[in-house]
């Protein structure tokens, strides 16, 4: 049978104390042992079902990590307190002083700032490339290169990375391919396409309720064990542990992810086709006009669609700002950063999440100041929201009356 992330998650069964249908929530930072000897053993190597201290591992995060592994078809996963800590721990686990990273230049603003401003302080250099230019990537790989980094669908331009081709380059050079899959859970399964490490900001679609910040790292069992090693694991020693109560609530939300993703995608596809028909400049991988439409079509698990994120370019920043304010007034959605919420969210990536990228670099990568990024909600009647959106556009003379 072909891999299906939703079926894989549905197969999980973990019960709580007294047979509760949800696993019990760990309300402890530390764990007792009958014998001192067993504690010593656990310090040396992991023992299935045994816990030492909640920063190292705890049952709630273990349950959530199993669900993330089921989603991403990985051997194992680690849960972290944010997407950024998942990214930082992964990079620092793989790279040392003197090493080089090859990264897509269109990545999440926080990741870009970490790569550009923080890593060089520790002697790790980052070469930013156009991730669609395989020759450029090949040319930049040298003996110091440890990994290739990209997002499966990039923020905010919605470029799709050719994960299979990137994985071939990585394997040929025995380096790792690290993919941030935050924009496309369920739609894209990077490990099936050859990625070595998959990162999520659970804050977004996977949790889906915009009530907490969390992250995850999925990879081989070995790599995940390295991250929690008591002497050299970045997750263990930098300590970005997620609180159990949050972990438990994300685990419940992940069980409805497939239903939500299908609805996000369906709504976004509808909005994009209609807006494009009206002559607006729309970026969405589900549109035939998108340069990576076929690439995504070949990579994706088709039933989940092309995701809930789209961008429209109004060319002018002032106009984009007015439209967002109007749309919030008319209850189309909320003027807020982040994505994957059940309601529609919109923001200007040029000024907010990608503001870490300098104006000069923004022009270079085609990030116009008039781009609005929209995370479409799971509205039951998307036509209703669309009509309100159109009225706002007519009001501002973006569209003719």
Please report, as ranges, the residues that interact with ligand PLP according to CB under 6 A: 82-84, 108, 110-111, 151, 155, 180, 182-183, 201, 203-204, 213, 215
| 3-state DSSP assignment of residue 201 | strand
Closest CB to ligand PLP among residues 192, 338? 338
| Whole-number Å distance between alpha carbons of 191 and 194 | 5
Q: Which helix (H) or strand (E) holds 345?
A: strand 345-347
- As beta bridge partners, residue 198 has 179, 218
Q: Burial of 360 by CB count in 10 Å (0-12 exposed, 13-18 middle, 19+ buried)?
A: exposed
User: Rounded to the nearest whole angstrom, what is the least distance from the CB of residue 213 to ligand PLP in the complex?
Assistant: 5
DSSP assignment of 81-101 equals: SSHHHHHHHHHHHH--TT-EE
- Name the residue whose CB lies closest to ligand PLP: 83
Q: Which of 198, 165, 168 is nearest to 298 (CA)?
A: 165
Cα 294 from chain centroid? 21
User: Rounded to the nearest whole angstrom, what is the least distance from the CB of residue 189 to ligand PLP in the complex?
Assistant: 17
User: Rounded to the nearest whole angstrom, what is the least distance from the CB of residue 193 to ligand PLP in the complex?
Assistant: 18
User: Rounded to the nearest whole angstrom, what is the least distance from the CB of residue 318 to ligand PLP in the complex?
Assistant: 26
User: Rounded to the nearest whole angstrom, what is the least distance from the CB of residue 161 to ligand PLP in the complex?
Assistant: 12
User: Rounded to the nearest whole angstrom, what is the least distance from the CB of residue 204 to ligand PLP in the complex?
Assistant: 6
Phi, psi values for residue 55, rounded to 5°: -70, -30
User: Rounded to the nearest whole angstrom, what is the least distance from the CB of residue 382 to ligand PLP in the complex?
Assistant: 23
User: CA-based angle 76:78:79, to the nearest 5?
Assistant: 140
Whole-Å CA distances, 285 to 266, 268, 308, 397: 13, 10, 10, 27
Alpha helices in 278-336 (DSSP H): 293-299, 317-329
Closest CB to ligand PLP among residues 163, 393? 163
Phi, psi values for residue 149, rounded to 5°: -120, 130
Residue bearing tokens 């982040």: 338
User: Rounded to the nearest whole angstrom, what is the least distance from the CB of residue 108 to ligand PLP in the complex?
Assistant: 4
| 3-state DSSP assignment of residue 313 | strand
Overall size of the chain counted in residues: 401
| Whole-number Å distance between alpha carbons of 369 and 313 | 8
| Whole-number Å distance between alpha carbons of 357 and 335 | 21
Structure tokens given for 153: 């669908």
């Amino acid at each position: 049978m072909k891999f299906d992330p939703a079926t894989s998650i549905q197969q999980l069964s973990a019960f709580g104390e007294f047979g509760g249908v949800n696993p019990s929530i760990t309300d402890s930072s530390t764990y007792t042992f009958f014998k001192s000897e067993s504690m010593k053993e656990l310090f040396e190597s992991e023992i299935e079902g045994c816990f030492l201290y909640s920063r190292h591992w705890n049952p709630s995060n273990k349950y959530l990590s199993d669900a993330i592994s089921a989603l991403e078809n990985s051997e194992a996963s680690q849960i972290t307190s944010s997407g950024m800590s998942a990214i930082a721990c992964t990079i620092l686990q793989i790279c040392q002083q003197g090493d080089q990273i090859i990264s897509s230049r269109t990545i999440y603003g926080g990741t870009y700032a970490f790569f550009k401003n923080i890593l060089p302080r520790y002697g790790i250099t980052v070469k930013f490339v156009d991730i669609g230019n395989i020759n450029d990537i090949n040319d930049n790989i040298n003996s110091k290169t440890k990994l290739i980094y990209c997002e499966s669908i990039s923020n905010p331009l919605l470029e799709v990375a050719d994960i299979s081709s990137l994985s071939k380059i990585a394997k040929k050079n025995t380096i790792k391919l690290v993919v941030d899959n935050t924009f496309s859970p369920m739609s894209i399964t990077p490990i099936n396409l050859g990625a070595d490490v998959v990162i999520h900001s659970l804050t977004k679609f996977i949790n889906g309720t915009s009530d907490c910040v969390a992250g995850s790292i999925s990879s081989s069992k070995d790599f995940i064990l390295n991250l929690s090693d008591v002497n050299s694991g970045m997750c263990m020693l930098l300590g970005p542990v997620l609180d159990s109560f949050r972990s438990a609530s994300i685990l419940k939300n992940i069980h409805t992810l497939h239903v939500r993703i299908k609805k996000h995608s369906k709504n976004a596809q509808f909005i994009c086709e209609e807006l494009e028909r009206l002559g607006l400049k729309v970026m969405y991988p589900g549109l035939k006009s998108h340069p990576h439409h076929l690439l995504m079509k070949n990579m994706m698990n088709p039933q989940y669609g092309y995701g809930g994120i789209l961008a429209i370019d109004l060319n002018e920043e002032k106009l984009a700002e007015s439209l967002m304010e109007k749309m919030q007034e008319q209850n189309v959605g909320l003027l807020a950063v982040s994505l994957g919420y059940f309601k529609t969210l919109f923001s200007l990536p040029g000024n907010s999440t990608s503001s870490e990228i300098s104006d000069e670099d923004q022009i270079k990568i085609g990030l116009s100041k008039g781009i609005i990024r929209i995370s479409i909600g799971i509205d039951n009647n998307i036509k209703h929201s669309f009509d309100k959106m159109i009225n706002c556009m007519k009001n501002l003379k973006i569209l003719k009356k």
